[in-house]
A and B are shown apart, each in its own frame.
Chain A
Amino acid sequence: MPFTAESVTFSIFAFFTIVTALGVVLSRNPVYAAMNLVGTFFFLAGIYALLVAHLIAFMQILVYAGAVMVLFLFVIMLLSTGEEHLEPERHRLMQYVGVLGAVGLLAVLSSVIARIPDSSMGPLPDAARFGTVKAVGTMLFTEFLLPFEVTSLLLLVAIVGAVVVAKERI
């Protein structure tokens, strides 16, 4: 990989993405895990911007780092007694076997990725429009109109379902 501004930016963002993702998994306190997850989402948004996905990068910050994380933190504040993360976690044998399985999955994915020819990404056909709000929006409202509307139905069902499940008494 040549030493360009893009590759340096990618390396920095990728490094901190992995570090904060490990922070999510390794931290005992759910609040620390949530803060690390916010960091992961922000650095991933940077990676998305490098991939010329401007709209998705903005939505990553708005929806994930904004809405979803507020929801997570709200539930943590609602539930946490502040004590349960202090007691040592008991790890069963099956959990370590599971982590071994995850590493095995990484090995399988590595062997697949290693077979991909190391093609660098060429210039985009229409670089001025690629990934802009206009281009993605036009596609969503023409080609993907039915899935888009079904998504709104899905969100409605999720809202009603969340209220029904979380409410003590209807």
Chain B
Amino acid sequence: MVPITYYLWLAALLFTVGLAGVLLKRNALIVMMSVELMLNAANLTFLAFARQSGNIQGHAIAFFVIAVAAAEAAVGLAIVIAIYRTRGAVNVDEVRALRE
């Protein structure tokens, strides 16, 4: 049996990689992909603790996280398309004002 700490290490590493991607990358699409990585790290933690405690409710939370991530991807990509249409770029540094 793999101890739970190994799963938690993996989740922590995955979350850190995602956070570094959000902070380092300037392409809005890759920033959103990094956010997906962070959501998956949270899911992994929920599932690991669900497995350890034998409580299946963690699977329900993981299910809702997947649904919210799908909604977030749809709305976020729509915003990226709208920004590209008005500014011709998907660089997050160039998008500073909420107006226009």
> CB within 8 Å of B: which residues of A?
1, 4, 6-7, 10, 14, 17-18, 21-22, 24-25, 27, 30, 33-34, 37, 40-41, 44, 47-48, 50-53, 55-56, 59-60, 63-64, 67-68, 71-72, 75-76, 78-79, 84-85, 89, 91, 95, 98-99, 101-103, 105-106, 109-110, 113, 116, 118-122, 124-126, 130-131, 135-136, 139-140, 143-144, 147, 151, 154-155, 157-159, 161-163, 165-166, 168
Contact = CB atoms under 8 A, between A and B. Distances in A.
B92 to A, nearest CB: 11
Given A1-B2, A105-B16, A72 B34 contact: no
Contacts of A72: 29, 32-33, 73, 77
A98 B24 contact: yes
Dominant secondary structure of chain A at its interface with chain B: helix
A53 B14 CA distance: 19
B23 interface: yes
Interface string B55-66: 011011011101
Contacts, number: 227
A110 B2 CA distance: 18
A155 B16 contact: no
Given A10-B6, A56-B47, A76-B29, A68 B69 contact: yes
